[in-house]
């Protein structure tokens, strides 16, 4: 889907998390299958002769719609959350709302890429989220992925806390969306690599994932990343273990394709005269599924420099503070091949995501 979401009444651009159009004040609901906003009348919209209701978490900022026969008051994204704080814990609930916003953005991107999204509620090992607060629980929450379930610490939505961790760990970038994109990379590594030949290819690029994770963890936290890691890896954390290298690289694939898609949706392009290094304009695409990874990376090289300049002009640090060296480009090429191999249509994704009555019985 390559056009930016708009209000159906006044055609004003709206952000993905909009509940009420800022221009005409219409109540809006987001419809995932069409990636469009619909106007609401008494909390419902009729779309292709079906009735869709607002998600029961609308009071917590969820603007998605639920089809009347889905058997739940919660939308597809909210249902992926397996564990959340108690509703009486209002401080944690505010942090949950911010995290759910990032998660909905992730789900839209996974849907756009045509990746299968099978919920934890429908199949063992399916995708799910345990969204816990280390502050409410009074104990640390380890961010991670195990058997389809992604665990996040909602306390990372506190800017001072997340920024302190970022500085302590020496990371150039740390966001909730970044965590989500990394952890979902662990999930998709197992979903998308299904045969030995592909695993062999993966091991050649990322290393053998059967190496002890426990040893890797203690080595990483006692010795840090090896000297000169920048010539092979996207980040220090990626050096820890082949699983982490894959997840870090997968997260970057989502950063790059997601940002280029937004640029395409709002019509940003760079003139060849300005870049002077290319004969043709840089015109980002909504999808690179049918394009070689070289085009994706060439477009990104120019667009990321342009975005870095824009950020600097506001006194911010770079939008994309990373270098894509040749080995990392090869790893991204492997992920591009995995992700763009026979993407599912939205109908197929939702046939998988919504069990039929017989499956439910
Ligand atoms: Zn409007
Ligand atoms: Zn929802
Ligand atoms: Zn990880």
For ligand 2, the distance from its centroid to the CA atom of residue 274, given in whole angstroms, is: 43
Cα of 245 vs centre of ligand 3, distance in Å, is: 8
Confidence (pLDDT) at 144: 96
Cα 354 from Cα 361, distance rounded (Å): 13
Query: Could you tell me the CA-to-CA distances from 279 to 189, 263, 302 in Å, in that order?
Result: 37, 20, 13
Residue ranges of the chain with pLDDT lower than 50? 1, 355-361
pLDDT on residue 193? 96
Q: How far is CA 192 from the centre of its chain?
A: 16
d(CA 322, CA 103): 23
Over the stretch 285-323, which tens digit does the pLDDT of each residue have? 999 999 999 999 999 999 999 999 999 999 999 999 999
- Ligand lying closest to the C-alpha of residue 19: 1
CA gap 10, 22 in Å, rounded: 10
* Residue 276 CA, ligand 2 centroid: distance in Å: 46
- pLDDT of the residue at 361: 36
Query: What is the 317 CA–ligand 3 centroid distance (Å)?
Result: 25
Ligand 3 centroid–CA 311 distance in Å is 28
> Contact 30/20 with Cβ under 8 angstroms?
no
Round to whole Å and give the CA distance between 254 and 265: 16
Structure confidence at residue 78 (pLDDT): 97
CA of 351 to the centre of ligand 3 (A): 29
Which of 287, 220, 289 is CA-nearest to residue 260?
287
Whole-angstrom distance, CA of residue 25 vs CA of residue 322: 40
In angstroms, what is the span from residue 62 Cα to ligand 2's centroid? 5
Instruction: Give just the sign of the alpha carbon dihedral 229, 230, 234, 236.
Output: positive
**How far does residue 110's CA lie from ligand 2's centre (Å)?**
16
Q: How far is it, in rounded angstroms, from Cα 39 to Cα 47?
A: 10
Q: What is the Å distance from ligand 2's center to 145 Cα?
A: 22
Ligand nearest the Cα of residue 220 is: 3
Give the per-residue pLDDT at 360. Answer: 35
Q: What local confidence, expressed as pLDDT, does residue 352 receive?
A: 56
Q: According to the model, what pLDDT value does residue 17 have?
A: 96
User: So what's the pLDDT on residue 3?
Assistant: 77
Instruction: Give the SS3 label for residue 38.
Output: strand
């Amino acid at each position: 889907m390559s056009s930016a979401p708009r209000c159906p009444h006044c055609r004003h651009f709206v952000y993905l998390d909009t509940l009420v159009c800022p221009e005409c004040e219409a109540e809006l609901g987001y419809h995932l299958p069409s990636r469009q906003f619909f106007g609401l009348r008494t909390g419902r919209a009729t779309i292709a002769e079906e009735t869709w209701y607002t998600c029961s978490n609308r009071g917590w900022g969820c603007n998605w719609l639920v089809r009347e026969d889905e058997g739940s008051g919660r939308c597809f994204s909210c249902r992926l959350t397996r564990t959340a704080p108690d509703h009486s814990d209002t401080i944690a609930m505010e942090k949950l709302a911010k995290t759910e916003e990032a998660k909905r953005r992730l789900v839209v991107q996974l849907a756009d890429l045509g990746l299968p999204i099978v919920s934890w509620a429908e199949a063992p090992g399916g995708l799910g989220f345990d969204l816990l607060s280390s502050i409410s629980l009074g104990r640390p929450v380890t961010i991670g992925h195990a058997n389809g379930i992604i665990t996040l610490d909602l306390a990372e939505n506190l800017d001072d806390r997340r920024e302190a961790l970022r500085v302590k760990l020496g990371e150039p970038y740390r966001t909730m969306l970044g965590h989500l994109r990394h952890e979902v990379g662990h999930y998709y590594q197992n979903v998308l690599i299904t045969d030995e030949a592909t695993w062999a290819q993966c091991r050649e690029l990322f290393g053998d994932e059967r190496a002890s994770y426990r040893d890797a963890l203690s080595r990483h936290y006692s010795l840090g990343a090896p000297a000169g890691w920048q010539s092979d890896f996207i980040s220090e954390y990626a050096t820890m273990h082949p699983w982490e290298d894959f997840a870090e690289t997968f997260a970057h694939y989502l950063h790059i394709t997601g940002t280029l898609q937004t640029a395409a949706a709002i019509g940003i392009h760079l003139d060849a005269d300005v870049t002077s290094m290319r004969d043709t304009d840089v015109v980002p695409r909504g999808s690179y599924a049918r394009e070689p990874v070289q085009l994706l990376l060439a477009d990104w090289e120019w667009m990321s420099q342009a975005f870095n300049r824009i950020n600097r002009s506001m006194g911010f640090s770079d939008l994309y503070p990373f270098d894509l060296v040749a080995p990392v480009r090869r790893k991204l090429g492997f992920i591009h091949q995995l992700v763009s191999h026979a993407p599912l249509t939205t109908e197929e994704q939702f046939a998988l995501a919504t069990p039929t009555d017989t499956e439910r019985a």
